[in-house]
Amino acid sequence: MKVLVVLVVTAPRSSVDMSFKPPQASAVIVAAAAMMMHQKNISCIIALDNGKVTGILTETDLLEKTVVNEKDTRKIKVADIMSSPVKTLTSDSSVLEASEFMQAQNIKRLPLMEDEKLVGIVTQTDLTRVITSYGMWRDITEIMSRDVSTIQKNASVAKAAEVMALQQISSLIVMDGDLIAGVLTERDLLKRVVALNKNPHNIKTEKIMSSPVISIPSNYSIFSASKTMENMNIRRLVVIKDEKICGIVTQTDIFRAVKDKIQKEEETILNFMNESKIGFYMTDINHVTTYVNPALINLLEVPDEQELINKEFLHERFWVNPEERALVFKDFGKEFINS
């Protein structure tokens, strides 16, 4: 009997900052939350109430609900602006499942639950780091955004925030006439305006922008662009051709491109296994069956896949001597788990 073993890789967990302990998290003023995010260099805070996730406060929430709406962050609480309810997944979800869910829900941070308790958070950065290890050698021009949003350096931060909120983008290229002066991001607004409780109408964009702008040539591969972002701890790159801006690529662009590539490859492999005369199956790390192909169903002489799916792989009833199963499966899958 020829059988291929495939283990499901679970999504990586980022550590969860528990500095706001339940049930006080949502009652903390926004200014304090913003300062904590700035000091700890994190992009979100999870609000808990008696151990249950009640909301999530992100950089986008701070931009759209405080800066744009001109709220005094010392007078409003996290509960007033946090996103709620919170989308979550179980901690045993695969990387691809988490990627698809985040893209479908248009979110960049996903709390992971285990027995109804928060055990971690996976971000778009985490998933991008994992899935780009598969390699992406296409040119960056194939996935970059060509419609680059810009603002002049002497515009107010309030105006810049309004543009970002209306266009639902996380950054603007700051210009000095026709020259690139810097880039303004949600993180810049958090660190240099919201956390310090400054009035965005009284600050010029050039005072809080990040500079210089990190750029790459248009013939860069997607993989190289992703590595550049990871090494420099940034989320976007300006693409230059003939010394002019031709586009901008973000972590989200790369995330979607690599996920789509992996999904297409998975579909190709699945079609191959479905049509193969060799028995194929997939299990999770607990040896619970997640997939069997028609050839294996016929080999095991069961009526359909439901006899095997979500059950312990090769149950004792399939063995002439059930004791042999324990010996065969003693070290089963360890090489996959430890690799």
At the topology level, CATH places domain 10-134 in CBS-domain (3.10.580)
> How large is the average pLDDT for residues 290-299?
88
Helix 251-275 and helix 95-105, axial crossing angle in degrees, nearest 10:
130
Mean pLDDT over the full length of the chain = 82
Provide the CB-side half-sphere exposure for 119 (13 A, CA).
14
The CATH-assigned architecture of domain 140-255 is Roll (3.10)
- Residue-wise pLDDT for 213-248, tens only, equals 999 999 898 888 988 998 888 889 999 988 889 999
Residue 83: which residues within 8 A CB-CB, separation 6 or more?
Answer: 55, 56, 57, 58, 61
Q: Which of 24-33, 111-120, 327-336 has the lowest mean pLDDT?
A: 327-336
- Say what the pLDDT of residue 259 is: 79
31-57: pLDDT as tens digits: 888 988 888 888 888 888 877 888 999
CB 180 within 8 A of CB 213: yes
Name the pTM for this structure.
0.65
Edge to edge, what strands does the sheet with 236-241 contain? 215-217, 236-241, 244-250
Percent of the chain having pLDDT more than 70?
86
